[in-house]
Structures are given as C-alpha cells and as structure tokens.
Amino acid sequence: MTAPKLLGDPTAFLFFTGKGGVGKTSLSCAVALDLADRGKRVLLVSTDPASNLDEMLGVTLGDHPTPVPGAPNLSAMNIDPDRAAEDYRSRVLDQLDPTTPEDERATVREQLSGACTIEIAAFDDFVGLLTDGAPGFDHVIFDTAPTGHTLRLLSLPKAWSGFLAENDRGASCLGPHSGLKMQEDRFRAALKALGDPARTSIVLVTRPDRSAVREADRTSTELRALGLSNQMLVVNGVFQTDSADPTAAGLARDHAAVLAALPPDLNHLPRAQVPMRSFDMVGLAALRRLFTAEEAPSTLSVSAEDLDGPRLNALIDDFAKAGRGLIMVMGKGGVGKTTVASAIAVGLVRRGHDVHLTTTDPAAHVALVVDGAMPGLTVDRIDPVAEADRYVEKIMATKGRDLDEAGRALMLEDLASPCTEEVAVFHAFARIVNEARSAFVVVDTAPTGHTLLLLDATGAYHRQMTRDLGASPAGRVVTPLMRLQDPDYTKIILVALPETTPVSEAAHLQDDLRRAQIEPWAWVINRTMAGTGTTDPLLRRRIAGESRQLARLRGGLARRLYLLPFLAEPPVGIDRLATLS
C-alpha cells in the first residue's frame, strides 16, 4: 500500500513526523501534491527551523501561503521563527503600561531575545493554524522538524495550558505574564484540535533502519500520552531485490529483517511502504513519481576518481595532534551524525586520548551506537529533564535562599515554565564547551533546526555578558560563543549524505555558522556507495547522483572533505566503529 491509499479520506490536519532523514519532507510534499492533483485545496506548512520546502517545491516561500507553480490547489509556507519572535515581542511590549520607562522596555525586549522566545513564538504561529484554521483550504499538512523538536512542539499546548492555569502571578521567562495570559485560550483550543481524531492525524515516518524504527516507536508512545492516538505508519525507502549482487542482497535482507521485527505498537498501526528510488526527491516531477512504479534504471558508468577521497582516519589523525579540544558534529537528521561522532571518539581513544562523548539531541542515540565500554571513553547525554531539575535546585538554593515562603512559592511557579528546560540545557552545553580546555569533548548535536536554537541561546548569552561587562570584556570573560569561534579550540564537522537535500541543508547550516563567525572545519560525506562495487542498476543510478554531489562540494562548498563508505548493516559497537576510524 502506498501513502495516498493509506490516508484514504484524510483529516483536515496531517502531521508528518519522525527521525531526521527518514523522508518526512518528501512524503509530505508528495501527499500534498497527490491531494491537490485530486482537486483538494491544500496548504503545506513547515515547522522546521531548517526547512527545505523551497528547494523541494522550486519556489521561494515566506511566512504566508504561497501558490506553488505547476500545482494548482497547492500553497506552501514556512513558519519563520525570527519574524514570529519579533511579532511576539511587539505584542508583549504592547501590554506594558504606556508610562513604562524606556530602560525597562529595553530590559523586557532583552528577556525576549533568547531561543525560548523564538520557539514559543513559532509555536504561536502553529497554534494559529490549528485554532483559527486556514480559510480556503481543505487540508493543512505539517512537515515537522525531527522528532525531538516536534515532540516539544506538540507537547507545548499541554505544557503551557497547565502552566498558565496554575500560575496567576508574577512574570515568566518570556517577560510580563500578560504576554502569556493572552494566549491561554488559544493553547487550550490547540490542545483540543490536536487530540481530535476527526480533525488531526499523525503520520509516523520511518525508514527500514533500527534506530529510526526505535524512534518511531518512542514517538508513538509519547504522542499517545499527549492524547494524539490517531496514528499511521509509513516506511520509506524500502529496498527489495532478488539480485545476487552482494551489496543489493545484503541491503534487502537488512530491510526485511527490520520490518519483520517491528515493535508491537507500531506493527498494529495502519501501514504503508514506499520503495527506495534511484532519484532525488527534488522538484514536482520527482515528487509526483514517488508513488508510481519506477522503470528499471539503466546502468551508468562513473569515474572512480570522481568518487574517491580521504577517509575518516585521516581527519582523526589531525585532531589527535592537538591533544585536546571541542569537536562538534552537525547536520541534517538521519545523515549519520551519531555514527561519525562515535567513530571520532573511539578513534581518539584508540590513539591514546581520554574522550567525553555526549549529545544535545533529545532523541539521544549515542549510547546505543557505541553499545559498549572502553577505558578512556565517557559516554553520556544532556538530559533536558535532569538538567531542568538541577537548574531549579540551584536557583532555589541561591536566588531563592533568602525569600519568604510566599516568595519561594512564586519563584517555583515561575520555574515551572517550559522555558526553564531550554535555559537549563544551555547551561549544560556551556559546561561541556568549557570542559574541552583540558580534554577532548565530542558532541553529537541535535538535527540542524534544534542546533540552531541552541546556538541562538549561545549568542544571546554572549550579548548579555558583553553588555553587562562593558564594551571590551577581553581578558575578563570567555563566553561559549567565543570558544565556538576559536578554530584552535573548536572543530565543527558537517555531515551529509551524497544527495541533493542533505548537502543543501548542510550548506545552509554552514552559512548560518559563518554569520555567527564560526567556520566549519570539514565535511564528512557518509554512506557513499561507490566503493561497494555493486552492479545493481538502481544502486548504480544512485552512485551517479553521488558523483554530482561530490563535484558540488569540491567546487567550493567544503574546505576539507572526507568520505565514509556505505555499509549494509549500520556500524554499531566499539569494534565496528573502530574500523571506520
């Protein structure tokens, strides 16, 4: 069964969610096109801070519905976090008394400059679509950010409704409390819409990959706990063959084994499978072909020189010479950041160094990839819940120490805000950055959009510190942002697959980093199939696509480029990671 047949008579709101890199954007675009081609009026919305809808659809999008050329009945838009944050700041400032002094207004504006405000403001746009509807459209399809960010988004109506119901005093981290109270009814309406199976459906997207399936299972459970039980499963990129080619046969066996072992809760959901394609999902023509049978592709010859390059061990050798430092692995979800970060950490330990391997990803798969212990390697994660508890305890023991009972109760109320978790995670990240002064720290970051929010918080903290300490804080304080900007201290590794969309998204991330005066050190292109020697026609067609992306990278995108080979079975465990490094 294909996705359009699975959806049947779709609800008004459709959410496509799943681990990064599973094909949420491709599927949401293809389903939106299919519905529009059948005469339905469809609005496609990206909630991902690192949206690539523009590239997929071939049209420049903004924060209002834009008709998609070549697709009558289809419009699309990106929720713009920066624009939403500015609108939100304006609304909150408008709630202040007209006689409020300018310095107090400036203080409130600064309070509203962090990543938490950006998140809640973008969420407010999302709430508007759920509560006010989208006049003129039969369906609103949400192409969401990777799972951790989306779970946070979908849990916010419940979190903020509960917070506002219990907190009728004081101020929150978003500024004057009136700025939140004016949203309360909208949050409740959003929660009601999300939980109504007649109005909202959740499409869990996965690939036939063990980690992606684990995350889909976890997401399904957490969404049910939020009252979102109208779920269906789409398994994207399934490869099937009766070929004797070893690479093709091994890949097909691995996919079949994953599908045969689906967790019970996922196995009971309505399910569709979409086959692996030989072409990139970019442009309307390709998206319309996703649900149709693909003609047998011809075998294409590709020059071996076009597909060769240094491997990961050469990169790790260069890192090891420094003896210490912060290594941050970034990129689109599903490109293998966790594998690369883990392989780098194992490789450095094998070269005689102590390494702290951690992750900022709410989905946190790093321990599952390492799957073992070795002397000199410490593996953990930044746990948002634990960090929030630690932060609250610290604030109550310091700022709340001399307050009376009523004052402490008010402070605890304020700290119950969902924003506290964002602040706490930033503080944990700052500790990790500082630790690299005397040791190796390897950070497996969350998918791009979530990482950009963390970097926004880092920048906001830097601005606050430099303002508080005067125009020239040099010699008195070194902020986390200054550490990230120092190439002798921090090495940023961008990971991508040899495909159009992951390379484009990594290139956009590189641009964002450069605007913050952070220069990426190198790119790692993961899962290149060129070295497999496969003769399978579909896989050979994919190799031809790889050569085009490598040429694009060598044409100026990447200062340094390293390659990791495709493995039919994901490299899990210290011994297998060591073979990569």
Which member of 20, 21, 179, 331 is catalytic? 21
| pLDDT tens sequence for the chain (581 residues) | 677 777 788 988 888 888 777 888 889 999 999 999 999 999 998 877 667 788 888 888 887 889 999 999 999 988 776 676 677 677 667 766 677 777 767 766 666 665 556 656 666 677 777 776 677 889 989 887 644 444 454 555 454 444 445 544 444 444 434 444 445 666 677 777 777 888 888 899 998 988 788 888 988 888 888 778 889 999 998 988 888 888 888 889 889 999 999 999 999 999 999 898 888 778 888 888 888 877 755 555 555 555 677 888 999 999 999 899 999 998 877 788 889 999 999 999 999 999 999 887 766 677 878 888 899 999 888 877 788 888 888 888 888 888 888 888 777 777 776 567 777 777 888 888 888 998 999 998 875 445 555 666 566 655 665 555 555 445 566 777 788 888 999 999 999 988 887 888 888 888 888 888 889 999 999 988 877 778 888 888 888 888 888 889 998 899 999 998 888 777 888 888 888 88
Q: Which two tokens stand for residue 63?
A: 């924060």
Tell me, what's the pLDDT at 36? 92
- In angstroms, the CA 293 to CA 1 distance is 12
Say whether 175 is catalytic.
Answer: no
- In angstroms, the CA 392 to CA 41 distance is 47
156 and 130 Cβ atoms separated by less than 8 Å: no
- In angstroms, the CA 21 to CA 50 distance is 13
Alpha carbon of residue 268 to chain centroid? 27
In a 3-state reduction of DSSP, which class is residue 377?
strand
Which member of 17, 26, 358, 420 is catalytic? 26
Amino acid symbol at 146: P
pTM: 0.69
Which member of 17, 19, 20, 23 is catalytic? 23
Tell me, what's the pLDDT at 170? 42
In a 3-state reduction of DSSP, which class is residue 201?
strand
Superfamily of domain 3-29+47-287: P-loop containing nucleotide triphosphate hydrolases (3.40.50.300)
Of 581, 494, 507, 528, which is closest to residue 306 (Cα–Cα)? 528
CATH 3.40.50.300 domain range(s) in the chain = 3-29+47-287, 304-382+441-580
Architecture label for domain 304-382+441-580 = 3-Layer(aba) Sandwich (3.40)
Of 174, 94, 185, 79, which is closest to residue 132 (Cα–Cα)? 185
Tell me, what's the pLDDT at 441? 94
- In angstroms, the CA 474 to CA 469 distance is 10
Say whether 399 is catalytic.
Answer: no
215 and 17 Cβ atoms separated by less than 8 Å: no
204 and 272 Cβ atoms separated by less than 8 Å: no
Tell me, what's the pLDDT at 164? 44
363 and 222 Cβ atoms separated by less than 8 Å: no
Say whether 361 is catalytic.
Answer: no
Say whether 501 is catalytic.
Answer: yes
- In angstroms, the CA 514 to CA 56 distance is 24
In a 3-state reduction of DSSP, which class is residue 13?
strand
Tell me, what's the pLDDT at 235? 93
Say whether 125 is catalytic.
Answer: no
Say whether 179 is catalytic.
Answer: no
27 and 233 Cβ atoms separated by less than 8 Å: no
Say whether 25 is catalytic.
Answer: yes
Q: Which two tokens stand for residue 459?
A: 């920048």
Q: Is 283 left (phi over 0), alpha (psi -120 to 50) or beta?
A: left
Name the helix (H) or strand (E) containing 452. Answer: helix 448-469
The percent helix, strand, coil of the chain (3-state, each to 5) is 50, 15, 35
- In angstroms, the CA 262 to CA 82 distance is 39
Which member of 18, 20, 25, 254 is catalytic? 25
Which member of 28, 417, 501, 534 is catalytic? 501
What residues have CB less than 8 Å from 537, skipping those under 6 apart? 278, 296, 297, 298, 299
Tell me, what's the pLDDT at 291? 85
Distances (CA, A) of 332 to 23, 49, 402: 11, 11, 46
- In angstroms, the CA 324 to CA 489 distance is 8
Residue ranges of alpha helices (H) inside 470-559 are: 480-485, 500-515, 537-552
Which member of 34, 48, 124, 280 is catalytic? 48
Neighbours of 352 (CB within 10 A): 9
Which member of 19, 24, 158, 332 is catalytic? 24
- In angstroms, the CA 551 to CA 272 distance is 35
Tell me, what's the pLDDT at 196? 84
Q: Is 311 left (phi over 0), alpha (psi -120 to 50) or beta?
A: beta
